[in-house]
């Protein structure tokens, strides 16, 4: 199973040389007062391609040997992983093919095209995604790089937390969103045993919560949340890691996500996407886990269709 | 006349000890491509109270002797200077009174109240502002701290550019918005002779442009711009500095301001207010002044009524 050694190797592969950005860590006095804790926001919305997904994608692309890489890479993605893979492939001068559900946010599709990938649209169902991806891989010979259920991707995402800890020093807790579980699993591997790692999940997309509660991974669900990046189902490898060592999954409502996003926009002045707001929503909703602590929160992405300019 | 020595003294007074933030400088590869130049964004929207105005206000408040300070401070402001003065006064435990036009953005009024100032509303005319302020000063004995036409304020605002240059090394040009001219004048004092300092101004609020063109300060105009922070009229002290040493005033249209703001939101992921976007709008509108250069742009503030969440 993927472990800390893999996260460290990913760090050497994508962070120590020219690759992903070392993103800033922000703090905000007024949010600290609100939370009753010291919050450290890891700004992965300022990462290459606008999300932490650049880490896992670049680690996977750089892990391919020369001959295998030549055929290019392919994936299915509702947005951020697709853009990240397109960027990572372009940086190695190999082609990328991205299967995108036709209801994905326009800004995310645009971000994929911007980095030069070929976009193939499909119906927004898991079956349609898999069928379309299978066809693309057969046609092109490209290597499938899964969005989260993949050791290289999990190790790559873990570098965000490795970096956060190097920047802040000791943290008592870290909260990351959980969709497919790549970032949460990677963060668990990256953090030492003394740090509690929580997943934050929309109550309207609670498959990780239910999987942990029952011990059986939920494989089919119908999420309905504004956090469009968190509609995916927890991966198998991800679940194996999360069920052993996560401190728990914290559910938040749609209203709580919206309120937290408004705070991140108005106080931090950071234009993060809804999926990024679930962590602050969880910290504010469950003060019993965080009061008086040093808490890391990963702001995962900033790719969204812009609201109408209210001016 | 206020000069570089005053800016350096302000730096010691407000930056070298606990006071204002040293704000980050951001860069963005895709905006560099668009501009054909290397852009360095000084993030004063991440400053205390959400704008560079914290610098001038704190410098003025800390310049008062103990006995004078005890009566508190007063000003008129459409928003950011008011919040900045409220914060600076609170940090010295003295009262603040802020006269605000009744059409000021709600977010800015809220920001003033948040820092504990007493808000006094008035009609949105210069006459009403001055009359109301005069009455407040008579009633309370508070010291009037002007929003821009004041040596202490100009010197304080100049520390933003002093800091920017220390962070980036040599810049060929710096662009700041111009409203009352506090930041532009302060930046001119702070920068060496080898750096060209431009003011960027909405064409719909072009009093600085016309003042420079004719050599006579425009004292009455009726601005109509989304850049609500730039509706003020150029100050006398400010004009004296700007007319001697600025590289020019660059006018931009409302559409250019909106387009630049959209770029700052979508590419930099920074929720800046419209007044902050005039600098990028100017760099994109007048490439002949900036092509191939290292250009500093001051993002002045991030206080605005949030757009409806488009999710």
Residues A87-106 pLDDT 10s: 999 999 999 999 999 988 88
Number of domains comprising chain B: 2
Asked about A173 being catalytic, the answer comes back as no
Clarify whether residues B193 and B115 are in a common domain.
Answer: no
Is residue B309 within 8 angstroms of chain A, CB to CB? Answer: yes
Helix ranges restricted to H, chain B: 4-14, 29-35, 53-63, 66-69, 80-91, 106-114, 126-140, 151-168, 182-190, 207-214, 236-245, 254-266, 274-285
CATH of the domain at A97: 3.40.50.1100
Q: Which residue out of A48, A53, A108, A109 is catalytically annotated?
A: A53
Strand partners, B51: B301
Cα dihedral: A56, A61, A64, A69 (round 10)? 160
Domain identity same for A92 and A223 = no
> For residues A156 and A190, what is the distance between their CA atoms, to the nearest angstrom?
10
pLDDT bin (cut points 50, 70, 90) of residue A17 is confident
Q: Is residue A305 part of a domain?
A: no
Same domain, A231 and A272: yes
Query: Is pLDDT above 60 for B113?
Result: yes
Do B171 and B205 sit in the same domain of this protein?
yes
Query: B304 in a domain, yes or no?
Result: no
The residue-averaged pLDDT of B290-304 equals 96
First to last CA, chain A: 52
In a domain, B305, yes or no: no
Q: Do A179 and A238 share a domain, yes or no?
A: yes
- Enter the pTM of the model: 0.92
Q: Which of A226, A228, A271 is closest, CB to CB, to B269?
A: A271
**Judgement on whether residues B13 and B139 belong to the same structural domain of the protein:** no
Residue A270 and residue B270: Cβ atoms within 8 Å?
yes
Quote the distance between the C-alpha of residue B279 and its chain's center. Answer: 12
Question: Is residue A175 domain-shared with residue A295, that is, in the same domain?
Answer: yes
From the CA of A126, how many Å to the nearest CA of chain B?
Answer: 23
- Asked if residue A235 and residue A117 are part of one domain, the reply reads no
Same domain, A223 and A172: yes
**Residue B307: inside a domain, yes or no?**
no
Last residue of one domain, picked from the residues B144, B170, B198: B144
Q: CA B77: distance to chain centroid?
A: 12
**Chain B residues near residue A46 by CB distance under 8 angstroms:** 26, 269
Classify residue A308: in a domain, yes or no. no
B268 and B182, same structural domain?
yes
**Residue finishing a domain among B144, B169, B194:** B144
For residue A297, the distance in angstroms to the closest alpha carbon of chain B comes to: 17
pLDDT tens digits along A204-249:
999 999 999 999 999 888 888 999 889 889 999 999 999 999 999 9
Q: Does A90 fall in a domain?
A: yes
Quick check: B262 and A305 CB within 8 A? no
Say what the pLDDT of residue A307 is: 66
Residue B184 forms part of a structural domain: yes
Among A114, A144, A174, the domain-final residue is: A144
pLDDT at A107 over 90: no
Q: Are B161 and B286 found together in one domain?
A: yes
pLDDT reported for residue B308 = 57
Instruction: Tell me: pLDDT of A311 over 50.
Output: no
Tell which B residues from 204 to 263 touch A, by Cβ distance under 8 Å: 226, 228, 258, 261-262
Question: Does B78 score more than 80 pLDDT?
Answer: no
* Least confident range of A107-116, A252-261, B39-48: A107-116
Q: Which candidate, B20, B31, B282, B26, places its Cα nearest to that of B173? A: B282
Q: Which of B38, B78, B211, B275 is catalytic?
A: B78
Tell me whether residue B113 is exposed, middle or buried, using C-beta atoms within 10 angstroms of its C-beta: 0 to 12, 13 to 18, 19 or more. middle
| Residue B294 domain boundaries | 4-52+150-299
Q: φ and ψ at A173, to 5 degrees?
A: -140, 155
The confidence score (pLDDT) of residue B309 equals 53
Contacts of B26 in chain A (CB under 8 A): 46
Question: Has residue B181 got a pLDDT over 80?
Answer: yes
Q: Are strands A196-202 and A25-26 parallel, antiparallel or unpaired?
A: unpaired
Q: Tell whether A306 is covered by a domain.
A: no
The span from the CA of A264 to the CA of A251, in Å, is 19
Report the candidate in B307, B237, B228, B240 with the shortest Cα–Cα distance to residue B275: B228
For chain A, the helix, strand and coil percentages under 3-state DSSP, each to the nearest 5: 50, 15, 35
Say if residue A203 is in the same domain as residue A284: yes
CB-based contacts of A84, cutoff 8 Å, min separation 6? A48, A49, A51, A53, A54, A55, A56, A57, A58
Chain B CA closest to residue A259: B309
């Amino acid at each position: 199973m993927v472990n800390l050694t893999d996260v460290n190797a990913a760090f050497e592969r994508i962070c120590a040389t020219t690759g992903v950005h070392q993103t800033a860590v922000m703090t905000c006095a007024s949010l600290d007062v609100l939370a009753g804790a010291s919050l450290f926001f890891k700004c992965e919305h300022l990462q290459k391609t606008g999300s932490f997904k650049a880490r896992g994608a670049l680690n996977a692309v750089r892990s391919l040997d020369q001959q295998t890489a030549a055929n290019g890479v392919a994936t299915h993605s509702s947005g951020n992983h697709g853009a990240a893979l397109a960027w990572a492939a372009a940086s190695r001068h190999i082609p990328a093919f991205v299967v995108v559900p036709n209801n994905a946010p326009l800004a995310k599709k645009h971000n994929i095209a911007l980095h030069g990938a070929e976009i193939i649209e499909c119906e927004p169902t898991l079956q349609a995604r898999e069928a379309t991806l299978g066809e693309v891989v057969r046609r092109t010979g490209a290597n499938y790089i899964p969005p989260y259920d993949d050791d290289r991707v999990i190790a790559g995402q873990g570098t965000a937390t490795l970096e956060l800890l190097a920047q802040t020093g000791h943290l008592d807790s870290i909260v990351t969103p959980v969709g497919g579980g790549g970032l949460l699993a990677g963060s668990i591997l990256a953090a030492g045993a003394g740090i509690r790692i929580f997943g934050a999940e929309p109550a309207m997309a609670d498959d990780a919560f239910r999987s942990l509660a029952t011990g059986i991974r939920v494989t089919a669900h119908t999420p309905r949340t504004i956090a469009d990046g968190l509609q995916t189902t927890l991966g198998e490898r991800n679940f194996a890691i999360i069920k052993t060592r996560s401190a728990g999954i914290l559910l938040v409502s749609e209203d709580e996500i919206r309120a937290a996003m408004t705070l991140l926009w108005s106080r931090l002045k950071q234009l993060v996407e809804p999926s990024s707001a679930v962590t602050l929503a969880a910290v504010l909703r469950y003060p019993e886990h965080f009061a008086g602590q040093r808490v890391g929160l990963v702001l995962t992405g900033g790719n969204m269709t812009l609201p109408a300019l209210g001016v």
